Structure 1
Amino acid sequence: MENKRSRPRPKADVDADAAREAADEAQRQLASRLRLRHLNCFVAIAQERTLARAAARLHLSQPAVSKTLVELEQWAGARLVERGRNGAALTVQGERFLRYALDATRAVEASALALARQDAHAAPALRLGALPTVATALLPEALLRFKALRPQMGVKIHTDSNAELLRAVKAGELDLMVGRMAEPAMLQGVSFEYLYTESLLVVVRAGHPLANDSGAPSLGAVLGFPLVIAGERTAPRHHTEAFFETHGFAVPEGAIETQSASVARLIVAGSDAVWIVPQRVAQSDIDAEVLVQIDVPAPQGVEPIGILRRSTATLDEAIGVLAQQLRECAQAA
């Protein structure tokens, strides 16, 4: 029987195999070079946002931190951190690398704790971020429920702007946050779980001249009183300004701008000021008849609020319990 000669493989297949082998070899070499110090350095830069603060945190010189970062960028073949006068900001490639660097460094920390045989019950406090408006509207009841279920677990609450809280979640500084949905580009590596949609109300103190008006006051009449609104570069402020523009008005000069619900509440309760506020922030005061909603059309259903956390992070049991309490309180309200 005549032996059949093996047919030569197509050149495209040979080239593809060679490219895969080269990529695998490059990955093996990079894995052999990468050390925990590289990961710790990169995480410190991402969290501290300047090379100087990262160096101080790691007890290293700034040139040493810079050299380590340059090594990482050379191996990656891309810039991971943009350096400038305002500090160090991660690039898209840097944010992608950070997700895995955080998981690796935390795994090492957990392993060290296991070797040290530390008490498994001595768990660190949960780190929760929330917008100022959400913090007053949703957190109190949710945290009371959580503490009833996990009395020994501490919770550290951090309030800030949505963008800053989102940055902290990505950097692993927060376990989860309750905030607004951001642009898709800002949500890379972050999951969003919808809780509720936020609407705005116009409220005044009980006994206010506008509250005693038998008819619905005009927006012009409302703007005849001192105004309390959210600060600039916030979603409630953006929707307030858009609402005014739709009706031919602008934000009046002399308005009081604040992100503090407690400050705004005291000002409105003790004066004739008018407050444009997210509904859930004012609802308890409206129910108690301390504040009164004015029948002026205001932006409705303008902002989806939800739970945001790192997509690759393992959901700790205690964090899952807290998230469930947030869901239940959002639904109940």
Structure 2
Amino acid sequence: MSSRVRRLCAGFGISFLAFALTANTQPSPADQFGDLFAAVQEGHVFEDGKTFADAVPRRAPDAIMAEYAAKPPTSPTDLRYFVLDNFTVPGVNDKPLPPLREHIRALWPQLSRDAVTPPPASSAIALPSPYVVPGGRFREIYYWDSYFTMLGLVADGRDDLVEGMIDDFASLIERFGHIPNGTRTYYLSRSQPPFFALMLDLSKQTDGTVRARRLAALRKEHAYWMAGESCARAAKACERVVRMPDGSVLNRYWDDRDTPRDESFAEDRATAAKVSARPAAEVYRDLRAGAESGWDFSSRWLSDPQDLATIRTTRVVPVDLNALMWAMEKRIEKGCKQAGDQPCTRE
């Protein structure tokens, strides 16, 4: 072998050795991110362990680890947020998000449902027109949620869905006397914050027959909320009506049943089992009334904000509910005046 060839081989050997040493000394993600890496992987923040191993830090690893050490996340959710703030994670946050308005518009087709005729023995309740659901485990239309959905639909020019959902709710009132919490048979014993009057404000419907039908439905819903007025006595309550010490009449949340909720059966029984000083039926009623409020479960209904077993929803006269009742009554008065129904206007 010539001296020139030997020099070339020696040079190649030195270069290969330098490459090998460099490759072996480059830190892996586990090396760079130590405790953070272990917490993410052992906490299964991402389903596939390779996901975080392939993530790209958005700033210097030392800076990320200094922040992590100074203020470590205290929950799995906080840990995920920390990771997404500091890393570009493949398949998770590696693509730019569309503008918010575009994102919302893209959701309407995903959350819209056609008119439904449930199969026999299903818990679902039939509806005559297309509607929008919240999504996820909430596969049916819900009452007060839908008002805020409608605000978005109006902003996006989807008046067709707004009118259809109003017709769905009018249909529910005609059949059941009220709009249930949601369109399942296990929701029929309660309603939700009465937003139907405000939904009618969003309508562009001009047909007199349709408007008359909707006004009749609104009056029927009002009668549902006021059904306990005849049995409420001084400083006493009956159903959804409370007669105050001065004789004035206000409303509260209530459920016509006092059993565990079908959709939270085990959880309700466990809550009632924690209480020895109150009958289980009373606890169930307050849990159900809390669900009717839509604030399920806010500490506003609890004697002890940290203990669901202290729930007392039916003992509270909520200002927001009574504001909605006032709004309903003002719209009934206006509708009756427009229809020339003087007896109704004076009620």
Query: Same fold, TM exceeding 0.5?
Result: no
- Which structure would you say has the larger RCO, counting Cα contacts within 8 Å and 6 or more residues apart? 1
**Greater Rg by CA:** 2
- Greater strand share, 1 or 2? 1
TM-score when normalising by structure 2? 0.24
- Greater helix share, 1 or 2? 2
